[in-house]
């Protein structure tokens, strides 16, 4: 039987191994490459979802979302939105009610995307709400990953300037990992089917 914490203790989380996405990463910043990856996205029933925006260090300063990440178990697609914007066919996927998009704190991500183009989100699943149904109180991708998947994810590239045209391999892997982990957490929760036990904090 699977055992999970109601809320994973920090010392337990810190002892877990770090993992990152090990599949194929597709960096898409032009229409030609976008058309190549489109069939895979259309055929995916579930996609991990995340976005990245250039961090702002001054009050009142905001930036447009720079990167949209969608991932399956072995493929991650990173869309450079300051080059692509939001093409109609990508909008179609975001609105598609037959393709589940799952992530953490997706409300803010969707608001940022809707500043680029208006669309009606379809079949988005907020993992923080979804995990509540299993009596898991963890918030944030890092804690949910540790509790449900048994590994940590690195957040060292979080403050990357995502508006740059070129990313390092570590930055690409970071962006891919966030979307992939959302995908894996969703599948893990779906697979439990009541076969789990919650370890209550303090017990």
201 is a domain residue: no
Comparing C-alpha atoms, which of 71, 68, 63, 64 is closest to residue 51?
Answer: 68
pLDDT tens readout for residues 119-141: 999 999 999 888 888 888 888 89
**Structural contact between residues 152 and 138, judged by C-beta atoms closer than 8 angstroms:** no
203 is a domain residue: no
47 is a domain residue: yes
Q: Extract the tokens encoding 161.
A: 């300037």
pLDDT tens readout for residues 80-122: 998 888 999 999 999 999 999 999 999 999 999 999 999 999 9
21 is a domain residue: yes
pLDDT(55) > 80: no
pLDDT(202) > 70: no
CA dihedral 102, 103, 109, 110 (to 10 degrees): 20
Domain count along the chain: 1
Which H or E element spans position 55?
A: none
43 is a domain residue: yes
196 is a domain residue: no
CATH of residue 63's domain is 3.30.420.10
pLDDT(198) > 80: no
pLDDT tens readout for residues 17-53: 999 999 999 999 998 999 999 999 989 999 999 999 8
202 is a domain residue: no
> In terms of residue numbers, what domain contains 182?
2-191
197 is a domain residue: no
């Amino acid at each position: 039987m699977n055992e999970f914490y109601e809320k994973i203790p920090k010392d337990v989380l810190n002892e877990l191994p770090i993992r990152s996405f090990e599949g194929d990463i597709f960096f898409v910043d032009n229409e030609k490459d976008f058309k190549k990856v489109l069939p895979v996205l259309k055929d995916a029933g579930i996609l991990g979802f995340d976005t990245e925006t250039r961090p702002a260090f001054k009050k009142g300063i905001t930036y447009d979302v720079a990167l949209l990440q969608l991932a399956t178990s072995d493929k991650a697609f990173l869309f450079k939105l300051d080059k692509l914007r939001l093409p109609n066919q990508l909008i179609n996927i975001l609105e598609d009610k037959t393709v589940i998009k799952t992530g953490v704190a997706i409300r803010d991500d969707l608001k940022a995307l809707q500043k680029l183009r208006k669309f009606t989100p379809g079949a988005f699943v907020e993992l923080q709400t979804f995990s509540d149904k299993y009596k898991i109180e963890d918030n944030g991708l890092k804690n949910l990953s540790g509790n449900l998947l048994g590994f940590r994810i690195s957040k060292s590239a979080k403050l990357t300037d995502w508006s740059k045209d070129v990313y390092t391999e570590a930055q690409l892997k970071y962006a891919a990992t966030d979307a992939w982990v959302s995908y894996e957490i969703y599948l893990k929760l779906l697979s439990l089917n009541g076969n789990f036990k919650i370890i209550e904090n303090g017990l």
